[in-house]
Structure 1
Amino acid sequence: MKKLASGLVRLMGGFFLLSLGIVLNCQAGLGLAPWDVLSQGLSRILPMTMGQASMVSGLVILVFDVLMRERIGVGSILNMIFIGTFIDLINLVNNSLGLIPAAENLWAGILLLVLSFPVMAVGMYLYMSPRLGAGPRDSMMVAIKRRTSVPVGVCRMIIEAVVLVVGWLMGGTVGLGTVILVLGNGPAMQCCFKLFHFDVAAQPNESVADTLRTVWNAWHGSAAQAER
């Protein structure tokens, strides 16, 4: 149970850092991230908003993950809830205090993007290392990594490049920052994983059922001890 509690704390820390990295990207003002380009492209050819397009693409990828036998864990569910929540909270605080000002020129924008790489890489490590489940898009990266000899950073770069091209062909907006994100995020994440000796594909994630079983066993054990 202590291991689960520690893992959940790391999950939340990871989600916060990922959200902070996304806010840094937005404040850079140099273009949408690859998955956002796809969502925007979908919203331009289908009667849906970018938010709805993001949810639809997430659900489609989730089905792919299940077919690839990736386990859907507590982290997968919390990912979809808390990253958006933390982004809103960080933006709320930033709008009041101005801690992360919007870039006023190209070089300031590039600096914010580069700063986001280590922030998001550590966030990825913190939320994936407890192996409580990854979000739909990260699970797809893990699934491909498990079945190939391609390094995890290259997997992410290839996925985001394909997503970027598809989104652009559908009318999504691509900027200099978009290209920088594609080329930088994957290698930064791979370096971070190597630094912490973390192999994302070394063992399967814990499923929701596994986590519930852990909680039940811990509660049942505590109840049995209390009766003695």
Structure 2
Amino acid sequence: MTTIATAPPQLADLGPIAQLRTGRLGRRLPQLYVGLVAYGVSLAFMVRGDVGLAPWDVLHSGLTRYLPITFGEAVVGMSFVVLLLWIPLREKPGLGTISNALVVGFAADGTLALLDTPDSMVLRVALMLGGIVLCGLATAMYIGAQLGRGPRDGLMTGLARRTGLSLRLVRTGLEVTVVVLGLLLGGGIGVGTVLYALAIGPLTQLWLPAWTIEPRSTSVGSRRLG
């Protein structure tokens, strides 16, 4: 019996107009927005778990102490700041990029308005673990829709493309770096922060092939997953 090897799916390096012209929008658009809302929900889960935030959220929560903004508004504001770091990487934004910058923060605020911090440590740990797993899945969903990576994940995919390193290694390196910077700035961390930094890369790498929707044409540059 002969086994035919199947090539891994591709992340296409397309501009914003080309991203829309490659078709399959009936699946890609819903996947994008479900992924973004789920991402915001996952961040709120970790906030209410209160046993350690995701690395970037250590910074976001710190901003709310000094500025009259909500947690979600801090997420939105920092998203546009991070987009400036795309310039040297020459990442191509898209509908998903701007949607990420806006939807994630508002989804987080909406979830926080509905969800209180449980008294039980078991439930808090469950929220933290659920938030990490959901975040990995949500990341794979909206990146796989190929409508433009989010600001922070654009750093991941841009560095992976430039260095040739795996998405898993680059994402883990970014998260660990942010944790260290957060500590230097006096940010608070917990066990959830460490687990997130170590797990989010492998989780995204695990689910991304299943959620990647290959565009009809990838004649413009692309990157194989792996």
TM-score range with shorter-chain normalisation? 0.7 to 0.9
In structure 2, relative to structure 1, the CA distance for the partners of 1:154 and 1:93 (3 Å cut) is: same
Where do residues 185-200 of structure 1 align in structure 2 (5 Å cutoff)? Answer: 185-196=200-211
**What is the TM-score with the length of structure 2 in the denominator?**
0.73
> Is residue 32–residue 141 contact of structure 2 (8 Å, CA) maintained in 1?
yes
Secondary structure of 1:132's partner?
coil
Tell me if 1:111 matches 2:126: yes
In structure 1, the residue corresponding to 2:145 is in which secondary structure? coil
Tell me if structure 2 keeps the 8 A contact 1:153–1:187.
Answer: yes
Q: Which residue of 2 aligns with 1:81?
A: 102
Among 25, 35, 43, the alignment partner of 2:56 is 35
Per the TM alignment, residue 61 of structure 1 is displaced from its structure 2 partner at its CA by 2.4
**1:179 is the counterpart of 2:194:** yes
Residue 72 to residue 195, structure 1, CA distance change in 2 (3 Å):
closer
Q: 1:47-81: CA deviations, max 9, x gaps?
A: 65676765564334212213211001111111111
Runs of at least 5 residues in structure 2 that lack an aligned partner in the other structure: 1-20, 215-220
Matched, 1:62 2:83: yes
Counterpart check, 1:102 vs 2:107: no
Equivalence for 2:39: 18
Please tell me whether Structure 1 or Structure 2 has the larger radius of gyration of its CA atoms: 1
Percent identity (aligned)? 28
Amino acid at match of 1:187: P
Mapped to 2, the partners of 1:43 and 1:89 lie a distance apart of 16
TM-score normalised over the length of structure 1? 0.72
1:19-72 deviations in whole A, cap 9, x for unaligned?
Answer: 22112212211022211223455678xx65676765564334212213211001
**Which protein is richer in helix relative to its size?**
1
Q: 150, 171, 182: which one pairs with 2:165?
A: 150
